[in-house]
Structure 1
């Protein structure tokens, strides 16, 4: 059995990873911690920062700095989760890709490699309603989908 756990760095995805570890231990399964980095997010934040500072000349440098920070932050989160999995005796690997989250998640989840997909009910925004990514992918994921709250 192979479990795909979607990670976005939020506390909800960390809770999803904890559930993934519990399931993996019971089923002697492998976990793949999966994250998608979307450059459009870095561009939007950089544009807003440039607008606030009234300096659109720096938007490009802001974007690169934000992009590098995003990559470093998710790598740090994933490394911590990988360490936890190893301490728990769970076979685990990390996969970080670039692109549009919905597309990359559906491509990975529906690749035929996974028996279960686990994700948090909410994302990084922390809004009190179900996450928009969940709404976009829920009906299109072929394996069973466990949503953690």
Structure 2
């Protein structure tokens, strides 16, 4: 096992997943990559309620995206500062898009051997209505997925 991917969303579960991935990496001499994904809400969300934000949305999209990437980078750095990753290669990346799609694409493109990710513990009803990034990754990943509960 050479490469481990860890999706991070700032939750307690994703922090625990990062710790678990580091532990595994130390045992196998693996490298670890932390990934977080930013996704701007679409204007369709607001149009459903009769609010037209298209012009404002597109005018400020670059600034909003830049700020989100900055904040997510800070979050990743903060988490990295709490990890004991001596003697392993640790990298991070911030991507834009739909979280599960970006995680799956990255894992396949960079040929990761394992994905370690957290699960927040939504109820069955909450997962039904809002979906679950973890569930989508488990269903479609090309490699094993280790799920760490909150």
- Shorter-chain TM-score bucket reads 0.7 to 0.9
* Unmatched segments (≥5 aa) in structure 1: none
Residue 116 of structure 1: how far off its partner (Å)? 0.6
- Secondary structure at the aligned position of 2:4 is classed as strand
* Unmatched segments (≥5 aa) in structure 2: none
CA, structure 1 residues 120+44, in 2 after alignment: closer, same or farther (shift >3 Å)? farther
Name the residue aligned to 1:88.
Answer: 85
CA offsets, 1:33-73, max 9 Å, x none? 011111127x689x5xxx9xx9x79x648877764553233
Name the residue aligned to 1:145.
Answer: 145
Matches within 5 A, 1:60-139: 60=57, 67-85=65-83, 87-89=84-86, 90-111=88-109, 113-122=111-120, 127-129=122-124, 132-139=132-139
Name the residue aligned to 1:37.
Answer: 38
- Secondary structure at the aligned position of 2:41 is classed as helix
Find the aligned partners of 2:7 and 2:132 in 1 and give their Cα distance.
14
Residue 2 of structure 1: how far off its partner (Å)? 0.8
Superposition TM-score, scaled by structure 2 size: 0.74
CA offsets, 1:71-130, max 9 Å, x none? 233111211233344x430310001111111221111112252111011112xxx63446
Superposition TM-score, scaled by structure 1 size: 0.74
Find the aligned partners of 2:145 and 2:105 in 1 and give their Cα distance.
15
Residue 7 of structure 1: how far off its partner (Å)? 0.8
CA contact (8 A) 1:4 1:118 kept: yes
